[in-house]
Amino acid sequence: MGKIVSRGLIAIALVLGVFGGIVATQSYMQRRAPADVISGYVIPAPQNYFHKDRVAIALFGIDYDYNAKDEETSANARTDTIKAVALNLPTQQNPTGSVSILSVPRDTDVILPNGHENKINAAYGGYAGNWLAAAHSSERVVGNFLGIPGFDRFVTLRIDATKDVIDAIGGIDVVPDETMNYDDSWGHLHIHFTGGKKYHMNGDQAVSYSRFRHDACSDPCRIRRQDQVIRITIAKLKNDKFNDLLHMNRLIDVLRRNVYTDLSGPEMLSLAWAFQRIDLKKIQTDQVPFVADKTLDCCGDVLIADDAGKNALVQKMFLRPLVPPLPPNAAAVAAIAPSSIRVDVRNGSGVVGQGARLAGALRKAGFVVGAVTNADNFGYDATEIHVHTSATPLAGERVRSALALRTATVQTDAIVPAGAASDVTVIVGRDYATTPQNEASAAK
């Protein structure tokens, strides 16, 4: 018996030794902590669950009211917060992963599935507390509005979710962007902060700060404050070492009490572990721009989205390939006759005359230039070359090679701009305006 026990112990020691050697080797070769290597054998990577490198999450934060007994109720809730989140999972090319968060103002004008025009946050209401049906309704409406093919999962946060997470990590330090003095006794909301002063906020204070919308900016500024609180919370989770397994499980328990979601427990743990070391610079936030507002009989003031700006953000954050495609064959690009490509030019540089200047350069190079107009806005830093789906393959690359502008990007648009009769639309950025020799390069 003693020999059997002895051999068993030796066998276990050998197995542990081999495993330890594997861990040490991977730790050295991959420059990862041994604990991270070990966790890889315990916690599967998110790709094991989702079978792809980008996961689209619909994130909703629901509001609540008070009944006659002064009790919180969300029976007829609407979405106070609407965000589309792209989780670009860690890979060999991008070891820490990245996150894109696109916020949709809750007062955005949409047509609901029943054909009625309303605010987009109304898509969640009317389900009498059936959170699954409400979430699926909002998923469809938000996905159709943004042009996202479909969300992989949804997360609906009750009002206490953010509060409890912030309390669980000991509060956060926030510097309000403006002075706020607002009281709503019925809604139990009391917001009093001085702009520019640093506050150590508990969960209640942080939620109140991020809900404030009673200024000239209203919902867009409220979204900006929400994103600020998210970034500060993530930074504290990283810097105060809340990203170990013990704390992760505790935080997931907090969320589980305050979250409706179709994410499973293993999926949440896998995602939390995968993004534990994400660089804050790799968290991109933006919001759908709007161009005007109007009043509806049903619900008051609504915001009219800027469709061109919205489509550009969705393309960049959700639809653009994670891994850049291989560079095109230079000979194949050069073989395309410029006279076979019709180009529209839109000046987005903010510099008068740059659209006409680029159009002239393309004409000299042999391209057929159509409309030359202003872009939807003058905030384009880099020139964008938008290829329409019906265009000749590599048409965009042919235009870029003629411009000899390294900072210009080429992308294929699923939706052709309204009124476009061209193969390619070039939006002129500031990079073209600051390159004095580009006209000569294009002519060559």
Taking only the tens place, the pLDDT of each residue in 351-372 is 999 999 999 999 999 999 999 9
Q: How far is CA 280 from each of CA 100, 144, 164, 228, 407, rounded to the nearest angstrom?
A: 11, 29, 22, 12, 24
- Token pair recorded at residue 152: 């992989």
Taking only the tens place, the pLDDT of each residue in 318-345 is 988 887 667 788 899 999 999 999 999 9
Residues 131, 433: Cα–Cα separation, whole Å: 51
Q: Of 103, 442, 77, whose CA–CA distance to 289 is shortest?
A: 103
pLDDT at 273 over 90: no
**Of residues 191 and 88, more confidently modeled:** 88
Taking only the tens place, the pLDDT of each residue in 234-249 is 888 777 666 566 666 7
Least confident span in 17-21, 82-86, 255-259:
17-21
Tell me which of 3.40.630.190, 3.40.830.10, 3.40.50.300, 3.50.50.60 is the CATH number of domain 45-319: 3.40.630.190
Q: Of 1, 142, 124, whose CA–CA distance to 63 is shortest?
A: 124
pLDDT at 70 over 70: no
- Ranges of each domain in the chain: 2-40, 45-319, 330-443
Q: 330-443 adopts what CATH topology?
A: Alpha-Beta Plaits (3.30.70)
Taking only the tens place, the pLDDT of each residue in 387-423 is 886 667 899 999 999 998 888 888 877 665 555 678 9
The model carries a pTM of 0.64
pLDDT at 14 over 80: no
Considering all CA atoms of the chain, what is the largest pairwise distance in Å, rounded to the nearest integer? 93
Phi, psi of 380 (to 5 degrees): -85, 115
Q: Where are the beta strands (DSSP E) in 92-207?
A: 98-103, 109-111, 117-119, 153-157, 172-174, 180-184, 189-193, 199-201
The answer to whether the 45-319 and 330-443 domains have the same CATH topology is no
Q: Of 83, 85, 122, whose CA–CA distance to 104 is shortest?
A: 83
pLDDT at 103 over 80: yes
**How buried is 83 (Cβ within 10 angstroms: 0-12 exposed, 13-18 middle, 19+ buried)?**
buried
